[in-house]
Amino acid sequence: MDRKTLIWTIVFLLAGAYLVLRSMTGGMARTYMKAVDFEFVNVAADGDEPEWIQAKPQVAADHDPNELANYPDENRQSWTRYESAPLKKYAKAVKEDPNQTTYLLSISRTIGVWLSAMFTLAIFSFLYKDSIFYKIAEAVVVGVSAAYWMVVAFWSTIVPNLIGKLSPAIVQAWAMPGLKEEQNLLYIVPLVLGAMLLWQLAPKGGWISRWPLAFFIGVFCGIRLTGYMHGDFLYQIGNSIIPLVVMVNGSFDFWGSLRAVLLVGGLLVCLVYFFFSFEHKGIVGKTAKVGIWVLMITFGAGFGYTVMGRIALLAIRLEFLFDDWLWLMDPTDKRLGM
Amino acid sequence: MKRLIPLWITAIAGIVLIASYFVPYAQGLGELTSIWFDILAGFAFILGGGNLLKVHLKKVSDKAAGWGYSVILLASFLITLFVGLGKIGVHPSPDYPDNSWSGVYNEVGSPFWWLYEYAFKPLTATMFAMLAFYIASASFRAFRAKNVEAVLLLGTAFIILLGRTFAGVWLTSWLPESLSGLKIENLSVYIMQVFNTAGSRAIIIGIALGIASTSLKVILGVDRSYLGSARSEP
C-alpha cells in the first residue's frame, strides 16, 4: 500500500467510525413518525349498499361516537397510517409518557435516509472518477425511473382512460369505485394501436409499430402546430406591440420609454438576424450584428440562470447530507420547515 | 402499403387536431384524439420498460461486460414495478374503506413512495446537481473574452450570477440612491426584463415558426423521415 492510499484509507476509516458512533448514539439520520389510526364503520342494514362512516381519527359530522361504538367488529375497517413527525415532538411525547405509541422511530425511513445519502455520495464520486459506486447508483436510477414512469402511466392513464372506458364495471369493482364512466367501444382503437406499438419488442414485424407511431406523430404535429402558433407566435407578437412613448400621470416617462424602445428594438434586430431571405450586408448586416449582441446578452442571462439553478440543486443536496443525514447543521432539530 | 397507411394515419390525425382548433363541431373529436394520444404515450412507457428488460436480460444471459450492473438494474426495475403495480402497502381510500385497491398508488409511507422518496428523488436530483461542476468546468475552459459578442455573453452571465448572491448585492450597496439603477441586483433585473425578454421573444417566435412548418411538412407527407429508410424495410 503506497503512502497516498494509506492516508485515504485512514481518512475513510476514521470517517466511517465517526458515522457508526454517531448513528449508534442516535445523533444522526433518524426519522420519526406519528401513528394515525383510521377506522370506518358500516352503518347500513344487512343486505343494503354499504355506508361507511368515519370513526377515527375524528368522527364524521352528524354522527354520535357512542352510537358508532355499538357496531360489531365485522362492520369495521381500520388501519394505521404513519405521518412524518419532527424529533422535538417525539422527544416531548417520550418525556411525557415513555410507553406512548403515537410517536415512533421509523426504521424504514431511517434506512431510507441512509440509502439516499449513500446514493448521493455514490453519484458525487463520479467527480473524482468513474467508480463501481457510481455505476451501481446509475443502474438503480435507470431501473427505478423506468419502472416508476411505467407505474404512473398504468395507474393514471391506462386504467382510468383505457380499461375504464372499455370496461367501467371491472375498474369500478377493482381499483376505482368512484369511476363514473360509460362504456365506449371506440377505445378499442387506442388499445389495438397500443398493442401494435408493443409489437416493437417482437423479433419480427417491426413495421407494425409504424401505425401507432404515425398516429403519435400526426397528433403531436397537430397539437404543436396550433399550440405554438397560438401560445407562442401570436402571444409574443401581441405582447411586443406596446406604446414606445410611455406617459405616467400625464408626463413623459423617460426610463419607461427607453425600456419600451429597447425591448421592441431589441426584438426587431434579433428578428432581422434570423431573416435569411436577404444577404446580411449593408444596413441589414449592421442591424443583424446588433441582433447578435442582443442574442449574446440573452444567452449570457440564460447561462447565468442555468448555473444558478444547478448550484441551487447542489445546495439542496448538500443541505440534505449535512442536515437530514448528519444532523450537523441543526442538531437540536429546529430546522427550517419543521 | 407499409408506408402509405402510416402516411395517411399521420395526415388524418394531424388534420383532425388542427380542425378541432378552428371548427367548434370538431372539438369533441380533437379531445378524443388527445386522450388516445395520452393512452399511446402510456403504452410507450410500457414499451420502454419492456425494451429495458429485453436488453438487460440478454446482457445477463450472455454474461456481457458489466452484466452485474444489469442485475442491479433489473432488480430495482422489477421491485419498483411490483410494489407500484401491486399497490403494496397502500391503504384503502377513506371514501371506500372496504375496497383494498381503492387507495392511491403513491400513498405516503407505501413502499412505492419509499422508493421514489429515497432512491428516485435523491439520485436524479444529485445527477442534475452535478451539472453545476461540469458547467463551471466547461465554461472555464471554453469562454474567452476575445470579441464583443463573447464579452457581452460573459458580462451578462457575470452580472446575473452576482445579482442573485449576497456578495453581489453587497458589492454595489455603496452606490447612492440616484445611481440605484447601477446596483448589480437592479442591473440584473433590467437585463432580464428588457434584453433577455427581447432576445427570448425572437427565439420563441423563430421556434414557433419552425415547429409550425415542420409539423405541416410531416402532416402533408413531405417529411417522411420518421418512417425510416425505405431500403431498411424487411
Domain boundaries, chain B: 143-223
Q: Which of A159-163, B95-99, B137-141, B226-230 has the lowest mean pLDDT?
A: B226-230
Q: Would you state the pLDDT for residue A332?
A: 57
Among the partner residues A139, A217, A294, nearest to B218 by beta-carbon distance: A217
Q: What are the domain boundaries of chain A?
A: 242-325
Cβ proximity of A59 and A65 under 8 Å: yes
Share the mean pLDDT of chain A. Answer: 89
Residue A140: its chain B contacts at CB < 8 A? Answer: 72-73, 76, 119, 123
Asked whether residue B229 carries a pLDDT value surpassing 70, the answer given is no
> d(Cα A304, Cα B192) in Å, to the nearest integer?
11
Average pLDDT, chain B: 91
Closest by CA position to B87, among listed B69, B107, B68, B71: B107
Long-range contacts of B223-231 (CB under 8 A, 24+ apart): B224/B3, B224/B7, B226/A213, B226/A214, B226/A217, B227/A210, B227/A214, B227/B3, B227/B6, B227/B7, B230/B3
A124/A86: higher pLDDT: A124
Q: Say if the Cβ atoms of B196 and A153 lie within 8 Å.
A: no
Q: What is the dihedral of CA A291, A295, A297, A298, to 10 degrees?
A: 140
CB spacing of A150 vs B46 below 8 angstroms: yes
Nearest to B105 among A151, A217, A274 (CB): A151
Q: Which residues of A touch B156 (CB under 8 A)?
A: 296-297, 299-301, 304
pLDDT digits (tens, 9 = 90+) for B50-97: 999 999 999 999 999 999 999 999 999 999 999 999 999 999 998 898
Chain B residues with CB-CB distance to A316 below 8 A: 125, 129
User: Which of B3, B6, B81 lies nearest to residue A150, judging by beta carbons?
Assistant: B81
> Rounded to an integer, what distance in angstroms lies between the CA atom of residue A107 and that of residue A30?
8
Mean per-residue pLDDT, B168-186: 88
Give first-to-last CA distance, chain A, whole Å.
47
Mean pLDDT of A261-282: 93
pLDDT exceeds 90 at position A194: yes
Report residue B3 as a C-alpha cell.
Answer: 408506408
DSSP state of B197: H
Minimal Cβ distance to A307: which of B124, B132, B153? B132
Chain B residues inside the 8 Å CB shell of A306: 135
The answer to whether B49 touches B81, Cβ cutoff 8 Å, is: yes
Model pLDDT, residue A62: 79
Q: Which of B83, B103, B106, B87 is nearest to A177 (CA)?
A: B103
**Whole-angstrom Cα distance, residue A233 to residue B184?**
32
**Residue A336 confidence class, pLDDT cut points 50, 70, 90:** very low
Mean pLDDT for the stretch of residues B87-110: 91
- From A299's Cα to the closest Cα of chain B, the distance in A is 6
Contact residues on chain B for A52, CB-CB shorter than 8 A: 95-98
Q: Say how far apart CA A64 and CA A44 lie, in whole Å.
A: 15
Higher-scoring residue by pLDDT: A316, B164: A316
Are A211 and B9 a contacting pair at CB < 8 A?
yes
Residue A299: count of CB within 10 angstroms of its CB: 18
Q: Tell me the C-alpha to C-alpha distance, in Å, between residue A165 and each of A171, B36, B99.
A: 9, 11, 20
Q: In percent, how much of chain A has pLDDT > 90?
A: 54
Interface test with A, best of B196, B207, B231, B233 (most A CBs within 10 A): B196
Chain A: residue nearest B101 by CA? A175
Q: Give the position of cell 432576445.
A: B199
So what's the pLDDT on residue A331? 54
Hey, what's the torsion of the CAs at B101, B106, B108, B114, to 10 degrees? 120
Range A140-154 average pLDDT:
96
**A210 vs A65 pLDDT, higher one:** A210
Average pLDDT over residues A97-116: 93
Identify the helix (H) or strand (E) that includes residue A76. Answer: strand A76-85
Question: What distances in angstroms separate CA A217 from CA A197, B36, B214, one per listed residue?
Answer: 13, 12, 11
Residues on chain B touching A158 (C-beta within 8 angstroms): 39, 42-43, 46
Interface test with A, best of B3, B4, B10 (most A CBs within 10 A): B10
Percent of chain A scoring above 70 in pLDDT: 97
Q: How far is B174 from chain A (nearest CA, A)?
A: 23
- CA A60 to CA B94: how far, in whole Å? 11
pLDDT tops 90 at residue B106: yes
Q: Taking a C-beta distance cutoff of 8 angstroms, is the pair A317, A120 a contact? A: yes
Contact residues, chain A, for B150 at CB < 8 Å = 296
**For A266-276, what is each residue's pLDDT tens digit?**
999 999 999 88
CB–CB of A83 and B108 under 8 A?
yes
Residue A334 binned pLDDT confidence (cut-offs 50, 70, 90): low
Sign (positive or negative) of CA dihedral B60, B63, B65, B68: positive
Residue A213 has pLDDT above 60, yes or no: yes
Contact B21, A221 (CB under 8 A): no
Chosen from B1, B5, B9 to mutate, greatest number of chain A CBs within 10 A: B9
C-alpha span between B155 and A303 (Å, rounded) = 11
Q: Which of A116, A239, A296 sits opposite B153 (nearest CB)?
A: A296
Question: What does the alpha-carbon distance between residue B201 and residue B53 come to, in Å, rounded to a whole number?
Answer: 43
**Chain B residues closer than 8 Å to A112 by CB:** 114, 117-118
Q: How far is CA A214 from the centre of its chain?
A: 30
- What pLDDT, on the 0 to 100 scale, is given for residue B120? 96
Asked if the Cβ–Cβ distance from A259 to B194 is below 8 Å, we say: yes
For A293, the closest chain B residue by CA position comes to B149
Q: Could you give the CA distance from residue B128 to residue A128 in angstroms, rounded to a whole number?
A: 17
| pLDDT confidence bin for A337, thresholds 50/70/90 | very low
pLDDT in tens, B9-57: 999 999 999 999 999 888 888 899 999 999 999 999 999 999 999 999 9
